[in-house]
Structure 1
Amino acid sequence: MATPPPDGVYVPVPTFFQPFDKSAYKQPLDLTAQTEHTLFLANAGITGLVLCGSTGEAVHLTPGERAELIRSQKAALVEGGFSNVVIMAGTASQNIDETIGIIAESKEAGADYALVLTPSYFATAGGYSEEGLRNWFTAVAEHSSLPVLVYNYPAVTNNLQLSLSLMKHLASHPNIVGCKLSHGNMSHHLILSSTKEIDHDKFRVYTGLGQQLLPLLLSGPGAAGAIDGTAAYFPKTLLRIWNLSKKISAANGNVTKEEWEEVHALQCAYSEVEEWVVKFGTIGIKEAVRKVLGISVGQDGGRLPFCEGASGGGGPAKQWENFRGAFEAVQDFEGKL
């Protein structure tokens, strides 16, 4: 039986590219910026990284680029003395064999776990049955060379929401060790974290939304942490929320008034700044990495069909002033941690 990843805070990192050349249709990977960002996060104390996930534009990368990205960041972590930092590798394929192949290549490059996105191409054109989805995930898990986490992200899967009955069934598979829930249905978070139908020692629940970390960690024994994009530039704040929330949960709420006030203030401020990611997604995360951390990641946003990224139209660069107060509030917390 596979072992779940350690509880804690994971960062789904963006993939950084070199500046856009209009004479070409894509940009090479910027591994210098990628490594600088990886080591910043490792120094902050994060539990792990998600590479080639949805934030990492996995669907815009070639198989060779995926392997190069994982291999380079694994090497940087080991060389930097952070070999304990976990690497999850995302998959976003509709095909079982391709998914199994991506996982095998990711393992060879240095990944520890596979974060497997729900197949969804026909979700709104004929639809998928629960039996079909169950058999798809089971086939992947049976043949995966890495332990699998189920990735439920309706916003990028034609609004396909995996049912509780399906999730409970998948949780019993010996090679499925957890899930990432990137949606706002806290009832599903709570049930999957606390139902007695799941062995919570082997199946861990992560929220994909940092604004839900405090309520998740107070919900049940299966609650593990967050895999959250805002932690790409404010990792210490989310780590502090995680640590305080775990302490409160372990003490059944019997902590000081000051600790309650601190975690409420941190969660509120963090939730305010999460509205940036809600509005701008991946290109917003890249712009915040550039603005907050000063890492030179350019202003192109991402690969096509992302167009003009952070600098175009009403994109994040043009909207920064509207969010400045929220960012400065969390930067103030971050600087004290």
Structure 2
Amino acid sequence: MATGPPPPSGIYVPVPTFFQSFDKYAYKQPLDHDAQAEHTLLLARAGVTGLILCGSTGEAVHLTSAERVELISRQKKVLADNNYDNVVIMAGTTSQNIDETIGVIKESKDAGATYALVLTPNYFAVAGGYSEEGMREWYVTVANNSPIPVLVYNYPAVSNNLQLSLSLMKTLSKHPNIVGCKLSHGNMSHHLILSSSPEIEHQYFRVFTGLGQQLLPLLLSGPGAAGAIDGTAAYFPKSMIRIYNLAGRIRSGDATTEEWEEAQKLQCAYSEVEEWVVKFGTVGIKEAIKIVLGISVGQAGGRLPFSESHLTREWEKFREVFERVQDIEAKL
């Protein structure tokens, strides 16, 4: 077991995995390393704190083990070759199998990741097969055997609606190799409690929201509030970073009335554009990257069974809110 400090506070981007255009009915599109590198450098230049590779947005469930390793190692090299060694790489570890989870973490560490974002196991969640004790032991065993620090990833929408309890999260926060969590759910109360509770040593356990809509209220809550790991930041990173920086000035008492108003207006605009991700998830993020940034995302937006064909007619409904944030982004 390796122990280390929690990840630095800031804005992290769950990065999509880019694929080459290919026969739509081929069972596997090749990785597009050029598009991946282009996107990585765009985010690094914008000033993001870190990248999450091979997470939910990265379609980890559609990747082979070898592809995960190749993806992490190549992006680590791209960052190093362009003097962005300060950008943190966090690896997603999506597996129901505890042995495989630990194996993925070890491979990710060897490829260049410094943290592991560990999704809650969930296959039997609706079949009554899980207890709080079992979930606790699962995470403790993973953390005990992980060569890099672990963050708990609680994302009910992809986990059979499994919601980890506050008591379990508080217990896990005490493990020396569990250094934080990503909460991708709408229960703001859990965000605020875990970032403020006196039962948690917040210098060792940091709380990140997976929903950019919640960034400002989270950052104004408690000492454990660390930032966001947010999909919309994949194409609007500067706006998210600006909210983060304004929140820092508000917390320190240095913000002017104008900065307060800017933070509120920007959070509102960002929250509206985030509704696109709420509705269309990973495929929506890739479609927005294609339209906003002009980066090729590959055919069908992702590997089967993903398809982006229904998004074209939906885009017009969101055009106005996207253009509003694009104008803000261009000025930052």
Q: Name the counterpart of 2:256.
A: 256
The question of 1:324 aligning with 2:319 is answered yes
The question of 1:334 aligning with 2:329 is answered yes
Does structure 2 retain, via aligned residues, the 8 Å contact 1:11–1:231?
Answer: yes
Query: In structure 1, what is the Cα distance between the partners aligned to 2:146 and 2:132?
Result: 21
AA at the equivalent of 2:26: A
AA at the equivalent of 1:265: K
Q: What secondary structure, in the 3-state scheme, does the structure 2 residue paired with 1:296 have? A: coil
Q: How does 1:173-184 map to 2 (within 5 A)?
A: 173-184=175-186
Q: Tell me how large the CA RMSD over aligned residues is.
A: 0.9
Query: In structure 2, what is the Cα distance between the partners aligned to 1:305 and 1:258?
Result: 47
Does structure 1 retain, via aligned residues, the 8 Å contact 2:15–2:234?
Answer: yes
Q: Deviations over 1:41-95 (max 9, x none)?
A: 0000000000000000000000000000000100000001101000000011111
Q: Name the counterpart of 1:68.
A: 70
Provide the TM-score with structure 2 as the length reference: 0.98
Query: In structure 2, what is the Cα distance between the partners aligned to 1:127 and 1:284?
Result: 33
Q: Name the counterpart of 1:37.
A: 39
Q: Name the counterpart of 2:140.
A: 138
Identity of aligned residues (%): 73
> Deviation at 1:249?
1.2
Q: Name the counterpart of 2:279.
A: 279
Provide the TM-score with structure 1 as the length reference: 0.96
Higher relative contact order structure (alpha carbons within 8 Å, sequence separation ≥ 6): 2
Query: In structure 2, what is the Cα distance between the partners aligned to 1:22 and 1:335?
Result: 34
The question of 1:200 aligning with 2:202 is answered yes
Q: What secondary structure, in the 3-state scheme, does the structure 2 residue paired with 1:21 have? A: coil
Does structure 1 retain, via aligned residues, the 8 Å contact 2:20–2:299?
Answer: no
Query: In structure 1, what is the Cα distance between the partners aligned to 2:21 and 2:283?
Result: 14
Q: How does 1:232-311 map to 2 (within 5 A)?
A: 232-251=234-253, 255-306=255-306, 309-310=307-308
> Deviation at 1:22?
4.1
Which of 128, 132, 149 is matched with 1:147 structurally? 149
Query: In structure 2, what is the Cα distance between the partners aligned to 1:277 and 1:19?
Result: 23
> Deviation at 1:127?
3.0
Q: What secondary structure, in the 3-state scheme, does the structure 1 residue paired with 2:127 have? A: coil
> Where in structure 1 do 4 or more consecutive aligned residues deviate above 4 Å?
none
> Deviation at 1:126?
2.1
Q: What secondary structure, in the 3-state scheme, does the structure 2 residue paired with 1:304 have? A: coil
